[in-house]
Amino acid sequence: MLWTLLRRTEWRPFLALLSPSLLRVVPPGPLLAELRRLGSLSRSPAALARAVAGRRASIAAAGLPIRIGAPAGAVARAAPADPTARGQRVLELYFHQLFADADGSTLLDLRYARFADEGAALAWSPSGLLADLGDVFLRAVRALYRGFYRGDDALFREGLAALGLTEAEAAIRSQFGEGQQRAVAFSLRDFQQKSLEVLLRCQATGSRIDPGFLPLGLLLATLYEHLEALGVPFDVRAAYHAADPCPSSRSG
């Protein structure tokens, strides 16, 4: 069902990211339910309208210079005048969707062809692929990122445990990257390989990860596609702190 669903959408280029190993480490029942939710949301104009309205409001509240336009087909875009500034904005948008409360689902389409420069702002026309990541999953993901970027190993491991990734800690840290993440070059192929390593580690240890990793994987795949196309390194740590400035390391 997974492959059938994705082959019927514009997300086919990212099919290779979602390795069959995912089917072995996510419980079949929750995975099927996640696929049904993903398909239902993505076919619903009302759900898309709610998601766009909610994200517009949260972006405005955060002061991000991003305007969400009407969803449209991906088109050829002029090269950005400042690839570094573009990439930093898209990274901030990625973290913003994970950390900012919004009345709507997560918009998963961060691909290069969905964005265009619009004066000092960035215009975003996402497609209809949506996901409801859920409060429990988001709290765990926030704990993971906060623990990593704030140097709180206990919180990082709390997030790992909640996501079923305790046995894959080394692989997750490798995927996050070494050093301060101030000048990170993005490669979709590298992301795919490191994601596979995480899945294989989970499979080898009998771990069962949260089905929310299906839409989160799609969101990350589109992010990597965009940043790789820009061809310059980015300050991931700065983007995280811009989206989650609270000094508290709690995961709520």
Domain ranges of the chain: 16-243
Structure tokens at 36: 């049904």
The per-residue pLDDT for 73 is 59
Mean pLDDT, residues 231-241 taken together: 96
pLDDT at 128 over 90: no
pLDDT band at 244 (very low <50, low <70, confident <90, very high): very high
User: From residue 125, how far is each of 32, 89, 116, 131, 203 by CA, in Å?
Assistant: 29, 15, 9, 16, 37
User: Which is more confidently placed, 235 or 2?
Assistant: 235
Give tens-digit pLDDT for 36-82: 788 788 888 898 889 999 999 999 999 999 999 876 655 556 788 89
pLDDT band at 192 (very low <50, low <70, confident <90, very high): confident
Q: How far apart are CA 104 and CA 51, in angstroms?
A: 4
**Residue ranges of the alpha helices (H) in the chain?**
2-7, 21-25, 28-42, 45-62, 83-99, 135-149, 153-163, 169-176, 188-205, 213-230, 236-243
pLDDT band at 87 (very low <50, low <70, confident <90, very high): very high
Helix axes 169-176, 188-205, angle to 10 degrees: 170
Mean pLDDT, residues 109-132 taken together: 89
92 CB-near residues (< 8 Å, 6+ apart):
64, 239, 242, 243
DSSP, collapsed to helix, strand or coil, labels residue 90 as helix
Give tens-digit pLDDT for 144-191: 999 999 999 999 999 999 998 898 899 899 888 877 789 999 998 888
Q: How far apart are CA 216 and CA 106, in angstroms?
A: 9
Of 17-31, 115-129, 143-157, 233-247, the poorest mean pLDDT is in: 17-31
Verdict on whether the full-model pTM lies above 0.75: yes
Give tens-digit pLDDT for 198-207: 888 887 888 8
pLDDT band at 208 (very low <50, low <70, confident <90, very high): confident
Structure tokens at 241: 């702190």
Helix axes 213-230, 83-99, angle to 10 degrees: 170
Mean pLDDT, residues 231-243 taken together: 96
Structure tokens at 239: 């983007």
Contact 10, 127 (CB under 8 A): yes
User: Which is more confidently placed, 97 or 208?
Assistant: 97
Residue 113: exposure state from Cβ atoms within 10 A (0-12, 13-18, ≥19): middle
The per-residue pLDDT for 210 is 80
pLDDT at 99 over 50: yes
Question: What separation, in Å, do the N-terminal and C-terminal C-alpha atoms of the chain show?
Answer: 34
pLDDT over 90 for what percent of the chain? 42
Structure tokens at 244: 């989650």
pLDDT band at 249 (very low <50, low <70, confident <90, very high): very low
Average pLDDT score over the chain: 84
